[in-house]
Amino acid sequence: CFKSDEERVLYAFSRLRARASQRVLPWVIAKTDSREPTSLNEFYRTLDKAFSDPERQKRALVRVNTMKQGKRDLKDFITEFDAAMIDAGGLSWSEDQKKALLETAINSRILQGTVGADQPDSYEDFCNQLHRIDHQQQRISRISSGGARPVVPPANLTAKNDPDKMDWESTSAQIAALRGEVAALRSQDKGRAKRATWASDEEVQKRRSKGSCLRCGSQDHLVRQCSLQPARRPAQLAAVRATDDDQGEEDKDDDSGKE
């Protein structure tokens, strides 16, 4: 809507109020009387001289050379670092100079993550690299502190075209029913020695390969020294409820081939 820079300058001047307009008014009058071309950038430079802090750039330069991240979040720190760098006139600095200043400001944890990695050419790409390193280190820290936990899929999520789908559902139902029976047996067997939990053939093979106790999985002893009674097969639990006379024979059968 403005036809020339002179109109833009006059509009910008009209937006100033009170003491601000009084400080710039002499320059506007002088430019009007001289009839020289007036540029908007020249008007902005006049405003900077009139209102800017002459020590601001110097303080910002000192600050950007002494900033340290410490324990602050990397994203917040880089935002603060960029603001200080702009105040210090850093937009005209070389990419290497900006990268070097940031490299001396980040904490040692992230700095160690850059060892062995190729440094990008641009300052922006270097910042993105630091963000990736920080993200990876935080993820490793969470895994190390919390332990690696297996991801268990939701109960209603099943694989398509799974040939073992019905068998799995049947086994799950059996296990749920057996848990109730085992709880009842435990209440009846409080005075007896503790009994090992039933392990699958696959688990027994793993214990055998590790040299662990085939009955309880402990690596402190072998099955012959295990203080637990042999585990009962799941299919035999119903028979155990009827009589305990066959317990000795069942125990022998359960541990056969595992010792």
Domain boundaries, the chain: 5-51, 56-144, 167-255
Q: What is the pLDDT of residue 5?
A: 79
Q: What is the pLDDT of residue 233?
A: 75
3-state secondary structure the chain: CCCCHHHHHHHHHHCCCHHHHHHHHHHHHHHHHHCCCCCHHHHHHHHHHHHCCCCHHHHHHHHHHHCCCCCCCHHHHHHHHHHHHHHCCHHHCCHHHHHHHHHHHCCHHHHHHCCCCCCCCCHHHHHHHHHHHHHHHHHHHHHHHHCCCCCCCCCCCCCCCCCCHHHHHHHHHHHHHHHHHHHHHHHHCCCCCCECCCCCHHHHHHHHHHCCCCCCCCCCCCHHHCCCECCCCHHHHHHHHHCCCCHHHHHHHHHCCCC
Query: In whole angstroms, how far apart are CA 120 and each of 83, 96, 126?
Result: 21, 10, 5
Spans in the chain with pLDDT lower than 50: 167-168, 245, 249, 252, 256-258
Q: What is the pLDDT of residue 160?
A: 54
Cα within 13 Å of Cα(82), Cβ side: 10
For 85-117, write each residue's pLDDT tens digit: 998 989 889 999 999 999 999 999 999 999 989
CA 146 to chain CA mean position, Å:
12
Q: Which amino acid is at 183?
A: A
Main-chain phi, psi angles of 35, to 5 degrees: 60, 25
Angle CA(98)–CA(127)–CA(74) in degrees, nearest 5?
110
pTM here is 0.42
